[in-house]
């Protein structure tokens, strides 16, 4: 059985755990370096990216997660998780994990009160995918090896680069598991 970790320091971990278990995998909440052992994939959930970064530093998880990536472990970042994955954050000097060749802009769809839900057509996953946007970032620029999977209002909101999947919205807040299923298939490819 595949073991999928979910960074559980802050943010929407519980909803990701539910989807992972629904799809027949073991979900491992990651709160310490020990929880990273024997993972086949890792989800970086939504939340508040600056707070998540402080917690990654406090629990000394930043470098071990980077090491997992260098060892080929697939990673899926949703909302703040996308910001953690990005090699560059618009208006910031320093990335967090700096793994995925994208530039992201924070809060590009507005503040909390501007949250909304739409249905997206995605490349290779399906149509009518429900997408919940909450203080969502978007991908401003993508490297040549980044495959753009979905856009909303001409902004890139879902993309893949090799073992990395980055998503502006919160698929875990819906009953639709197709994006998580896509990530689990990525994990199977790399294991």
Name residue, tokens 């249905």: 119
96 as an active site residue: the answer is no
The residue among 10, 27, 14, 12 whose CA lies nearest residue 183 is: 27
Beta bridge pairs of residue 132:
117
DSSP string, 160-173: EETTEEEESS-GGG
161 as an active site residue: the answer is no
Q: Contact, 107 vs 136, CB < 8 A?
A: yes
Q: Contact, 108 vs 155, CB < 8 A?
A: yes
170 as an active site residue: the answer is yes
Beta bridge pairs of residue 141:
103
Separation between Cα atoms, residue 100 and residue 21, nearest integer Å: 26
| 9 φ/ψ sector (left φ>0, alpha ψ -120 to 50, else beta) | alpha
Catalytic residue among 15, 16, 79, 105: 79
Catalytic positions are: 79, 170, 172
């Amino acid at each position: 059985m595949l073991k999928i970790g979910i960074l559980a320091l802050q943010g929407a971990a519980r909803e990701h755990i539910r989807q992972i278990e629904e799809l027949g995998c073991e979900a491992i909440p990651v709160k310490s370096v020990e929880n990273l052992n024997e993972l086949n994939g890792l989800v970086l959930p939504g939340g508040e990216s600056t707070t998540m970064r402080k917690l990654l530093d406090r629990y000394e998880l930043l470098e071990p997660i980077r090491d997992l990536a260098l060892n080929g472990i697939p990673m899926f970042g949703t909302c703040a998780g996308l910001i953690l994955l990005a090699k560059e954050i618009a208006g910031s000097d320093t990335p967090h994990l700096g793994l995925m060749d994208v530039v992201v802009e924070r809060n590009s769809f507005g503040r909390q009160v501007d949250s909304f839900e739409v249905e997206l057509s995605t490349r290779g996953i399906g149509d009518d995918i429900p997408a919940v946007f909450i203080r969502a970032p978007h991908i401003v620029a993508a490297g040549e090896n980044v495959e753009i999977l979905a856009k909303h209002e001409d902004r890139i909101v879902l993309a893949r680069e090799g073992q990395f999947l980055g998503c502006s919205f919160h698929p875990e807040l819906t009953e639709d598991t197709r994006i998580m299923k896509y990530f689990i298939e990525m994990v199977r490819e790399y294991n």
